[in-house]
A and B are shown apart, each in its own frame.
Chain A
Amino acid sequence: MRLEPAPPVRSSYSTAFSAALTAPSLQTPSGVVGPNGKGAEKRYNVYRNNVTVSLIEALASIYPAVQRITGLDFFRAMARFHLRETPPRSPLLFEYGRDFPDFIDRYEYARPMPWLGDVARIERAWLDSYHAADQDPLAATALAAIPADRLAKVIFQAHPATRIVRSRHAAVTIFAANRTSASPPLINAVEAEDALITRPQQEVTVRLLPPGGAVFLQSLSAAMPLGDAAAAALEACPSFDLGAAIAGMLEAGAFTAAALGDRS
């Protein structure tokens, strides 16, 4: 005889208990009591507080630059709105907050800071890079083994920790200024900036990409041959410097392998 899975245990206790955790307008769930006839409202609120505060702190630990820019009270209010709208779907808190940059873009009180969502995108990419798989980056000398006339056909393999974030604002400068303890300099926020985030060994590094660099690296990461990627970058940005871009990406450890494509 096949054993049927046991029916749900009167799922009411977790249904009722969880429903009010992030909904302050709901009452303490019925059946939840204090000892010896004591009230349970403040007692239940301990759980409410634990949930909300711990999730705000989870967002603050992922987005420290955003918190530094907005200040503590602004950040906590914004995070509280977000976690009520989008609570975690995974028990891995380092996966939480993927929708937070988009939420910031929509958040009414953040409108005077149109670059704030992009700063958050860089911070999210930073954490993804931090937790990505370990792999040795491509050696700086790797391209020397490939004949010069065939370099255009080379296809690169992106490192698991490599991320690119593009911004219409000076998000990279703003990010960098607010992730260090120094007081932020005056920043021209309207200048568009692209970030390259890498972690060839154990340390995450965020670099400001030169013009055309993001198109170039995104093309290479999508397995486009070097020659085509360079052409795409030049088309996006006539001042694109191919030699500097290759030197920069090798130094950053953005790729793990380079090989001639099948169509050579």
Chain B
Amino acid sequence: MSERPANVDPTAMTAPRFPVHRIDSLAGASFKHEHLPAILAEAPMRGFFEVHAENYMGAGGPPHHALATIRHDNPVSLHGVCMSIGGPQALDKAHLARFKTVVDRYEPALVSEHLAWSTHDTTYFNDLLPLPYTEATLERVCEHIDEVQETIRRPILLENPSTYVAFQESTLSETDFIRAIAQRTGCGLLLDVNNVFVSATNHGFSALEYLADFPLSGVDEIHLAGHAEQTDDEGDLLLIDSHDGPVADAVWKLYAIVIGQCGPIPTLIEWDSNIPEWPILKAEAAAAQAILDRHASVTVRSQSHAA
């Protein structure tokens, strides 16, 4: 992880608006404005905050005030939720320009988006919708990621989706699809371990086999979140990626396996609905930090042995 955001031109005369904060080996939490007073009442947290880019695309006002306050003391990860990278139609140029403005304004340590689509024609559906995995969709997704990365002049991290359906026309596995995207575009990956668990349950595959096949060396951020339970058409368990509760035990176990294998990776606790008081969210982030720290010390020890 570079200490300095890639979009900062070292020859530019203007100084960055915000201090540079390292994000590697840190856990973080979704930033919710209702938590700001509680966050400011404490000593600065060791950790990062992640925000949805779209919430900071207004001209001014309290959202920018809140994010600027947080960004001053902590690294920030910028997470886009509606670029519609996985859709067949061209990206919305106006939205892309707004996205670049937020990236430039807040100098985030990480920038990410989803392997999904949310806009068709001119309608925005406000959900992360699935796509078939074919050579044709692969090509289109890569074009879109190239366009985003060229616009913001830095690589993005692409997040694996949680899905409830599949497409008959798919010819590639999700892991092959994502690996090919990373190879062709140079983008990094955001591994959402809860999404892996949700999709594995919903589609009847092994989460461990998926992770074994996932290009883990390209993962620069991890997401953890809670999910809800429903049933499918046959009455079997169907998991919903609801982000409305604590991280499930099974997801913590998968996460520990990934960190044990890869070493520390910036890890976010996502909580977007039924949002708890700040101490509860902070405690979830602290639980992730404890796992990261355990493996950081192992990594350091093994390095010093090798030296």
Contact = CB atoms under 8 A, between A and B. Distances in A.
A42 interface: yes
Given A13-B169, A131-B58, A44 B164 contact: yes
A89 B82 CA distance: 12
Contacts of A46: 164, 230, 238, 240
Nearest to B95: A91
A50 B127 contact: yes
Contacts of A36: 204
Interface stretch (A15-23, A64-72, A117-125, A171-179): A15-23
Nearest to A83: B126
Given A34-B166, A199-B61, A202-B61, A89 B232 contact: no
Given A9-B139, A50-B127, A160-B59, A43 B164 contact: yes
Interface residues of B, number: 58
B168 to A, nearest CB: 5
Given A88-B123, A91-B118, A34 B59 contact: no
B122 interface: yes
A90 B63 contact: no
Contacts of A34: 165-166, 232-233
A142 B231 CA distance: 66
Interface stretch (A51-59, A225-233, A239-247): A51-59
B238 A43 contact: yes
Nearest to B57: A92
A5 B92 CA distance: 15
A50 B230 CA distance: 13
Interface of A: 5-6, 8-11, 13-15, 17-18, 21, 31-36, 38-44, 46-47, 50-51, 54-55, 58, 87-94, 129-134, 160-161, 199, 202
Interface of B: 54-55, 57-65, 82, 84, 87-90, 92, 95, 98, 117-127, 129-132, 136-137, 139-140, 143, 164-169, 202-205, 230-234, 236, 238, 240
22 contacts: A5-B90, A6-B139, A9-B140, A10-B88, A10-B136, A11-B89, A14-B88, A35-B202, A36-B204, A39-B233, A43-B164, A43-B165, A43-B202, A50-B126, A51-B127, A88-B126, A89-B122, A91-B118, A92-B58, A93-B54, A94-B58, A130-B61
